Amino acid sequence: MDVLFDSKIFEEKAVKSIQLYGHDAEHNFSHFLNQQTIAKLPVFFGFDSFKGVLAFKSRTGKLWYMFSEVLAPADERFDVFLKFVDYVFNVDCADRLQIEVESGFRDLLKSRLDNFRVGKEIYSLEWPLFDMKVWNGDRLEGKDWKKLRNLLHKFLREHKVEVVDSSSVSKADLSRIVVDWNKRRGADDFVRKHGYMNFIDNGFAGCDIAKSLVVDGVPCSITAGWRIPNSDSYYSAIGILDYSVDGLGEVANLYDLFELKKRNFGLVNFGGSDPDLLEFKKKFRPSSSYKTHIFSIMRKG
């Protein structure tokens, strides 16, 4: 096992690991690097055959974070995870490891992680999925779509709307959108704000699509994301707006889904959601969802 702390050195290995074993929405190297902060340093754990774990280590050295899921074949992920945990606690002598994993892997850890203690869940997120083969919101026909149909028609009557590539919008305008979005969010969204600013600074590197709505001549939203590795699915990783116009959130998300329908993606993942955000996303009629759980692992005793 190689434990690498310099992203310039481990980038090639990490990208190869994602190409081979990526399966989670957040398995994207640019996205991973965009989450680093002064207090959280990126680390890559490399195993044989390019299996790996993306992680962050706190500058204090006492707290680690695993980023997304283990990069390995499904039947090897638990064993790779055990080697990662062994390093974190028995070599690096950390106090705590915080992870976010899907329900199945969480249950596996609870039943098989004998030498460590699985802490109480800090919170969970629900991730709505849209099966684009059956999603018919692009037509907005029938009673199920009446409210959104009327909202969109009203919005287009009252405003001049353009959809442009976010790369064509000035960084100043894009940054203003993030700042205005953050003013309406809670303190817990600070980390996401930091990541969004990094995407803007890096020209949306790692994104396959990045679009903005320009309403009455003013850029008001950013929706961006990428194809999930080894799948025909798409992760709509960024969906933010400046709240300047009523109905802007609904219209921005509809236009995002319209574009993804045209591009023939199989599943569209609309991202981890707390209960309030999930209720908003349900307006667009997802076909299913799954949960991730955030909790810590500690030494026993």
pLDDT band of residue 61 (cuts 50, 70, 90) is confident
User: What percent helix, strand, coil does the chain show, rounded to 5?
Assistant: 40, 30, 30
Asked if residue 174 has pLDDT above 80, the reply is: yes
Q: Is 38 helix (H, G, I), strand (E, B) or coil?
A: coil
The reported pLDDT for the residue numbered 232 is 97
Residues 241 and 154 in one domain: yes
| 3-state SS, residue 98 | strand
My answer on whether 134 and 275 are in the same domain is yes
d(CA 241, CA 182): 9
What's the predicted TM-score (pTM) here?
0.95
Give me 75's structure tokens. 């039947």
Q: Are residues 99 and 135 in the same domain?
A: no
Nearest residue to 112 (alpha-carbon basis) of 66, 85, 71, 78: 78
Q: Mark which of 90, 118, 146 sits at the end of a domain.
A: 118
Residue 263, in any domain of the structure: yes
Average pLDDT over residues 163-187: 92
pLDDT at 185 (0 to 100): 75
Which two structure tokens, joined as six digits, stand for 100? 């976010």
The answer to whether residue 166 sits within a structural domain is yes
What confidence category does residue 288 fall into, taking pLDDT thresholds of 50, 70 and 90?
very high
CB 91 within 8 A of CB 291: no
pLDDT at 60: 86
Q: Is the pLDDT of residue 187 over 80?
A: no
At residue 164's C-alpha, the angle toward residues 251 and 32, to 5°, is: 85
Determine the pLDDT at residue 189: 55
Per-residue pLDDT, 188: 53
Query: Is 294 part of a structural domain of the chain?
Result: no
Q: Verify that 66 and 167 share a domain, yes or no.
A: no
pLDDT score of 146: 97
Q: For residue 21, what are the domain limits?
A: 2-118
The whole-angstrom separation of Cα 289 and Cα 56 is 27
The band of 68, judged by pLDDT with boundaries at 50, 70 and 90, is very high
Segment 81-91, tens digit of pLDDT? 999 999 999 99
Q: Is the pLDDT of residue 80 over 80?
A: yes
Q: What is the number of residues in the chain?
A: 301
For residue 296, being part of any structural domain is answered with no
Q: How confident is the model at residue 195 (pLDDT cuts 50, 70, 90)?
A: very high
pLDDT at 161 over 80: yes
Q: Which of 98, 118, 138 is a domain's end point?
A: 118
237: domain CATH number is 3.40.630.30
pLDDT in tens, 115-160: 899 999 999 999 999 999 999 999 999 999 999 999 999 999 999 9
pLDDT (average), residues 68-73: 97
Q: Which of 75, 91, 118 is the last residue of a domain?
A: 118
- Helix, strand, or coil (residue 297): strand
CATH number where 50 lies = 3.40.630
For residues 209 and 90, membership in a common domain is answered with no
- Asked whether residue 301 is assigned to any structural domain, the reply reads no
Total number of domains in the chain: 2
Residue 193's pLDDT is: 86
Q: Mean pLDDT of all residues in the chain?
A: 95
The answer to whether residues 206 and 225 belong to one domain is yes
- End-to-end CA distance of the chain, in Å? 27
Average pLDDT over residues 69-84: 97
